[in-house]
Structure 1
């Protein structure tokens, strides 16, 4: 058995990162383009990795490189390894600086911006010149900001596995269309319409901001769908009597009140309610600026937290 003090790794972090890229991007050619490397250098790196380990990690089926059973196990463990190294290097950077030069805040599009702007106004006088980068994301794109550690703080509509989140507010999603739309006519007098009525209508969908989106949330049974990148674009189309869409109530409440849009209630799903969470992807590496911004966001949260008395029951 090797003594841990004298053991020298046979493999390199770069080899493991290349293997991860080949799998994540679906092949050598795609990974080479993403990494700005030659395809032959990636082939060589993975081949050498397999040779050093004495284990086949990938096999080519057709034109696609597919993980072997052993490769799946090794890849999973390698992700922990590379993530730990990234965290270690980030920690070293934070140790040697008093205040972060830039703080990245990733915010899901569904989160009400009027809850965020007072926070930023309070943060500005205390920011010590730190640049704040605010990035809008949706669905899997918000997941990516957490799992890839692209952001210092993330406001998300769910908490990915392995992370913790502080609840900020509840967000109600409602189905809306133009008052003259066919769905509006079916729902006269606030009648609940059958879900099957939606399937033949044009649905407006907000695009997932991830490079590798996953359709794992929301009602997506309509055969005819148009995809837009912003809620405001969807609203503009709805005002032209084009399609129907699930939208946050805070974005359309005034339009419903003025009867420019109509809320449609569906049997089994009159509305959907999600909770927005504040997540710090790397809590051990928070700098003082990130900590201050985090505390300010929590101070402005709009959700009622249980009291100590309630929690003791």
Structure 2
């Protein structure tokens, strides 16, 4: 970190001129490209070297070439000029109402791999805005919508009066380790049989959670923060849990239980703009990209 009294000896323009001399292979072509006189280019590079006290260029025949020191300094200078360009672009974006940060809240039961193509493309158009991706569970998703703490929400629950764009369905399977006593019982198992064993549940992310979903009658319950922790406990034979197929697909020696009257939990996912017309342009861009990709994916899965 620079000290408060630090004063740069060089200018950004000098570094840009050095870059141009190297990129265009000499002072003459660089001067023509930048619409400057060759003498001013020579003077700028000479001043840069004098200020730094190091040799950046050497003349070989009629061509200026970088010294070993010059190669290092040029590489770092490119990072500097890119950073300044991005900084100025960010200022322009903010002036135009472009958000410096947006939040995407995603229900944990949604397979994140579906987001990757969109996020890869969005990164190219985000103009430096930061993206926060937040896991939500159960009423935590509803809370993010009602309290507008996120710009975009992917949820399986729609609060009253809120509309959402339908996405692909989700599924939750009831699973235990093959070594677990429940796996040895005749199927389907009854709710009474299930209630005698430890259930692993995922913590509701709401500040005031409402336990209104899922099978929660087990006397013994352990609560974890995510599916990965839950899967580890299930694989160890410690308890049973409702988990989505994208989590269990790579797990070894798991058994899917059949519960009398409810062997699986499933439903639709929705894409929601909690702030509606107050949504900023960056969040709106990501939303439109998600709609285009994920609704097409949903339609494709229905056709097949």
Quickly name the TM-score band, shorter chain normalised: 0.5 to 0.7
Question: 5+ residue gaps in structure 2?
Answer: 1-92
- CA positional deviation for 1:265: 0.8
TM-score, normalised to structure 1, is: 0.63
Please point out which of 216, 222, 229 is paired with 1:226: 222
- CA positional deviation for 1:170: 0.6
Deviations for 1:68-127, whole angstroms, at most 9, x for unmatched residues? xxxxxxxxxxxxxxxxxxxxxxxxxx9963311111111111110101121110101111
2:170 match: secondary structure: strand
Moved over 4 A (4+): none
- CA positional deviation for 1:254: 3.0
- Tell me, yes or no, if structure 1 residue 289 matches structure 2 residue 274: no
| d(CA) in 2 for partners of 1:266, 1:113 | 27
2:233 match: secondary structure: helix
- Tell me, yes or no, if structure 1 residue 277 matches structure 2 residue 266: no
- Tell me, yes or no, if structure 1 residue 193 matches structure 2 residue 189: yes
Please point out which of 216, 238, 241 is paired with 2:237: 241
Aligned alpha-carbon RMSD (Å): 2.0
Deviations for 1:139-176, whole angstroms, at most 9, x for unmatched residues? 11111111111111001111111211011111111000
| d(CA) in 1 for partners of 2:234, 2:201 | 12
| d(CA) in 1 for partners of 2:273, 2:205 | 20
Please point out which of 289, 294, 299 is paired with 1:304: 299
| d(CA) in 1 for partners of 2:130, 2:120 | 13
The equivalent of 1:133 in structure 2 is: 132
Distance 1:95 1:282, change over 3 A: farther
Deviations for 1:36-74, whole angstroms, at most 9, x for unmatched residues? xxxxxxxxxxxxxxxxxxxxxxxxxxxxxxxxxxxxxxx
Please point out which of 214, 221, 227 is paired with 2:210: 214
1:116 match: secondary structure: helix
Distance 1:163 1:175, change over 3 A: same
| d(CA) in 1 for partners of 2:257, 2:110 | 22
Q: How many residue pairs align between the two structures?
A: 208
Report which of the two structures shows the higher radius of gyration computed on alpha carbons: 2
| d(CA) in 1 for partners of 2:140, 2:263 | 27
Does the CA contact (< 8 Å) of 2:153 and 2:271 recur in 1? yes
